[in-house]
Amino acid sequence: MYPEDKLAAIAYGDDVTLTDRDLASILNGYEEMDEALFMASSIVLDRTLGRDTYLHGIVQITNECQRNCYYCGLRRSNDSQPRFSLPFGEVMNSLTRGYNAGVRSFMLQSGELLDERTVSLVEHLLLEVEKKWGDKVAMALSIGEHPLSDLERFKSKGASRYLLRIESSDRELYMKLHPRDSIHRYSSRLDCLVNLHGSGWETGTGVLVGVPWQNDAHLAGDLRFMQRLDVDVCNMNPYAVHDGTPFAKERRLIPPAEERLLKYLRMIGLMRILMPDINIPISARLLSVHHSGPMRALKAGANAYMANLTPAKYRRNYDLYGGKPAETNSIEVVVNDAIRLCENVGRPVKLLDPGVSRHYRKRMEEKE
């Protein structure tokens, strides 16, 4: 069967398996193939999880980072980036305003800082959240590769979801995206992910799509990696070139922006078909990279929207991607914009819901 016919059969509800070769040719794509893919992936999403979109509120607690990833504006050697750390009260204020606007799923995000001050700040925030809202909210962390002992501390204070992107599951490509030193080891990242997954965390990972040297075989491998790891959440990004990074000098290796977006959308579509019940969030930041990005991603099979609740005066300095003017909207406007955007593509936001991945729920039930 041709891949296009397989996609039509999947849309119809047949149990069809996509081979590695199918994945590569669908990723390579053309217009009719894309239509068949996004038709199939959106039907699979409707059938499995329905039309609702979860809303996750992100607060970026610091933009400091000890790592030096070649693609990222927050890398420690980028000294054109003013660094900030949000005071405890400002984080709580953002969360409270998000809560009052109906958000019940939050993510604390930062660069990677492993010092005791950061760990205990996160702990105190989690404790405060637990005291205020208990299990009415889900707390996610995306704060880098922490040792098991830290993860245990976070978990005992009420965090339940963790996002650690593998960035690329191919060891060689991973090594080209990062400096070769002891804090950028592929094996430690993988170990951290396996630990998270095995110790009861709702586990999210994902990759960058469109980075230098990446081909369709790498991306097909990434899809298989996420299946093998049995992730609960898959959170990917189209790569955006940031001028303050070494990769900005590698322009000839970087595919055009539209191609990066399209590959990213195909990855979402395929991920949805391969793992129908996971959460696939998209970042509001996509909107400033490509104005149609979030809408197309929701139509391709994404089912969660990450709105940035960081106070506007800090938000402009959390510049992973570069190049775009800062969003200056208040938290209430950010939440309303997200609601409107999702509504417009027929995937309405489900407010007052902690947005737990169905895949994770099932995994935990089976464990009991």
Beta strand extents in 302-364 (DSSP E only): 304-308, 349-350
CA gap 301, 122 in Å, rounded: 32
Which entry of ligand SF4, ligand 5AD, none binds 321, CB below 5 to 8 A by partner kind? ligand 5AD
Q: Which does 75 bind (CB under 5 to 8 A by kind): ligand SF4, ligand 5AD, none?
A: ligand SF4
Q: Cβ of residue 207: shortest distance to ligand 5AD, in angstroms?
A: 8
Q: Which of 14, 338, 8 is nearest to 22 (CA)?
A: 8
Nearer to ligand 5AD, 6 or 242 (CB): 242
* Count of CA atoms in the C-beta half-sphere (13 A) of 281: 30
Residue whose CB is less far from ligand 5AD, 3 or 210: 210
> What does the block give as tokens for 21?
């070769």
Smallest gap from Cβ 232 to ligand SF4, in A, equals 20
Residues that bind ligand SF4 (CB under 6 A): 65, 67, 69, 72, 74-75, 111-112, 144, 320
> What's the closest the beta carbon of residue 321 comes to ligand 5AD, in angstroms?
5
By a kind-dependent CB cut-off of 5 to 8 A, residue 239 interacts, out of ligand SF4, ligand 5AD, none, with ligand 5AD
What does the alpha-carbon distance between residue 280 and residue 303 come to, in Å, rounded to a whole number?
A: 6
State the nearest-atom distance from the C-beta of 75 to ligand 5AD, in Å: 9
Of residues 325, 305, 310, the one with CA closest to residue 56? 305
What torsion do the CA atoms of 197, 321, 287, 63 make, to the nearest 10 degrees? 60
Give the number of other CB atoms < 10 A from CB of residue 104.
21
Contact 266, 28 (CB under 8 A): no
Closest alpha carbon to 91 in 140, 131, 58: 58
DSSP state of 142: E
**Residue type (1 letter), 38:** F
- Residue 105 CB, shortest distance to ligand SF4, in Å, is 21
Among ligand 5AD, ligand SF4, none, the one that 189 touches (CB under a kind-dependent 5 to 8 A) is none
When the beta carbons of 121 and 208 are compared against ligand 5AD, the nearer one is: 208
- Report the partner that residue 231 touches, choosing among ligand 5AD, ligand SF4, none (CB closer than 5 to 8 A by kind): none
Question: Residue numbers of the site for ligand 5AD (CB under 6 A)?
Answer: 71-72, 165, 167, 208, 237, 239-240, 242, 320-321
DSSP state of 237: E
Partner whose footprint covers residue 240, from ligand 5AD, ligand SF4, none (CB < 5 to 8 Å by kind): ligand 5AD
The distance of closest approach from Cβ of residue 318 to ligand SF4 in the complex, given in angstroms and rounded to an integer, is: 9
